[in-house]
């Protein structure tokens, strides 16, 4: 029992370490995994696995570690729902990146993003030019929300059928 309690405590410590580490890494990095980010996560998982289970490489040891991770994640989620400031501390706040076609350099720097990164996000939602961005925000979950300026309405024309119908009534 003492061995299993040790696994639980080490697993919680590793989970909290990774939570803080990934928060410091930045939202954009964690939300949009590039090859280097995926490799980093795999190597971290492999290197920290031994820290969680120690010398116990049994099936039970692995199950205890996995169950602990799931329970801690669920408890943290419940705590975030009850305490919005905790969620804000873990997830962060949205960062304004652009407004009315103007890039906000401070926001881009805080988000560790370039104008090219924002242009890519804009193209993904059908906006071809940065000047067409009405609002761009790096959300707390790491996704970039881009809202384009309103497109001008096409002039409305009556169809020939409509004109014919009106003439027929007169």
What CATH number did the domain enclosing 123 receive?
3.30.240.20
**pLDDT value for 167:** 39
Same domain as 104, residue 61: no
Question: For residues 113, 114, 115 and 118, what is the CA-based torsion angle, rounded to 10 degrees?
Answer: -30
165 three-class SS: helix
157 or 31, which is more confident? 31
**pLDDT value for 90:** 78
The last residue of one of the domains, among 59, 91, 123, is: 91
Same domain as 73, residue 103: no
Average pLDDT, the chain: 77
Same domain as 102, residue 117: yes
**pLDDT value for 158:** 40
The last residue of one of the domains, among 59, 75, 91, is: 91
Note down the domain range covering 161.
Answer: 93-170
Same domain as 98, residue 56: no
Mean pLDDT over 131-145 rounds to 88
The last residue of one of the domains, among 91, 125, 150, is: 91
Mean pLDDT over 152-162 rounds to 40
Structural domains in the chain (count) = 2
Question: What pTM does this model have?
Answer: 0.56
Question: Does residue 88 surpass a pLDDT of 60?
Answer: yes
Alpha-carbon distance of 115 to 119, in angstroms, equals 6
> Taking the alpha carbons of 33, 65, 48, 76 in that order, is the dihedral positive or negative?
positive
User: Tens of pLDDT along 41-76?
Assistant: 777 777 777 777 777 777 788 788 888 888 888 888
119 three-class SS: helix
130 contacts 119 by C-beta, under 8 angstroms: yes
Question: Does residue 153 surpass a pLDDT of 70?
Answer: no
User: Tens of pLDDT along 8-51?
Assistant: 888 888 888 877 877 776 655 445 566 666 667 777 777 777 77
């Amino acid at each position: 029992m003492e061995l299993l309690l040790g696994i639980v405590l080490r697993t919680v410590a590793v989970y909290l370490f990774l939570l803080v580490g990934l928060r410091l890494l930045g939202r954009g990095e964690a939300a949009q995994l590039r090859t280097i980010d995926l490799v980093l996560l795999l190597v971290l998982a492999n290197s920290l696995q031994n820290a969680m289970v120690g010398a116990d490489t049994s099936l039970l040891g692995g199950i205890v570690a996995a169950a602990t991770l799931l329970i801690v994640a669920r408890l943290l989620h419940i705590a975030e729902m009850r305490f919005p400031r905790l969620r804000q501390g873990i997830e962060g706040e949205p960062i304004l990146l652009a407004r009315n076609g103007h890039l906000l350099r401070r926001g881009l720097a805080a988000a560790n993003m370039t104008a090219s990164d924002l242009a890519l996000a804009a193209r993904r939602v059908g906006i071809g030019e940065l000047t067409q961005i009405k609002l761009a925000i790096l959300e707390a979950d790491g996704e970039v929300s881009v809202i384009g300026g309103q497109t001008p309405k096409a002039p409305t024309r009556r169809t020939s059928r409509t004109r014919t119908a009106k003439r027929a009534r007169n």
